[in-house]
Amino acid sequence: VVSGKDLVDIYEEYGQKLFEQNVRTFLQFKGAVNKGIKNTIEYKPDMFFAYNNGITATASSIERDDNGNITSINNFQIVNGGQTTSAIYAASKVSGLDVSNISVPMKLSVVKDKKSDFVSKVSEYANTQNKVNKSDFFSNSPFHKQMKDYSKRVWAPVCDGSQKRTRWFYERVRGEYLN
């Protein structure tokens, strides 16, 4: 976990050098995702850790104290989470929002071999996921949960003189029927 204040300090010192292995630069607060990040910082900072996917980073080495806490990160690169980091920085420096209560999840991989394509692969895979449609979010609504429950309790009509009764199948979550 890295604090919002620490991310601001790191960004202040290293700027865009942090994102040399990232696939994008800051997209401002114009899109829905970045507006959502800013709203969380402003109105629900205590929920930032739960609501945000955090950052994926690489380093060539780290140093720890006697308690195992990281004290130094060498060649730190944020390969996924540039929007998160930049949004926290802009919220603090441009909008004047308090980021001291922000906690950001961070996955850090220490990569000893700089010639390896490992960092590129981490960046690629961390920035890849199956598309989530807006309709997918509605699948957890009370309506769909209730319809799923009905489908398990209500018998389907018998067809073609069959004596076998069947139930309905209601696909509440996309892909559920295939599984």
62-75 residue pLDDT tens: 999 999 998 999 98
pLDDT beyond 70 at 116? no
pLDDT per position as a tens digit, 89-106 = 988 988 899 999 999 999
Structure tokens at 61: 């080495």
What confidence score (pLDDT) does residue 29 get?
A: 62
Residue 162: how many other CB atoms lie within 10 Å = 8
Q: Are 62 and 108 in contact (CB under 8 A)?
A: yes
- pTM score, whole prediction: 0.69
What confidence score (pLDDT) does residue 9 get?
A: 94
Residues of the chain with pLDDT > 90: what percent? Answer: 27
What Rg, from alpha-carbon coordinates, does the chain have? 23
What confidence score (pLDDT) does residue 107 get?
A: 93
Q: Are 105 and 61 in contact (CB under 8 A)?
A: no
Q: How far is CA 107 from the centre of its chain?
A: 11
pLDDT beyond 70 at 115? no
Query: In whole numbers, what is the pLDDT of the chain averaged over residues?
Result: 83
Q: Rounded distance, CA 21 to CA 119, Å?
A: 8
Q: How sure is the predictor about 132, in pLDDT bands with cuts at 50, 70 and 90?
A: low
- 3-class SS of residue 79: strand
Task: Classify each residue of 100-124 as buried b or exposed e, where b means 16 or more C-beta atoms within 10 Å of its C-beta.
Answer: eebbbbbeeeeeeeeeeeebeebbe
pLDDT average, residue stretch 30-34: 68
Q: How far is CA 87 from CA 73, 113, 150, in A?
A: 22, 31, 44
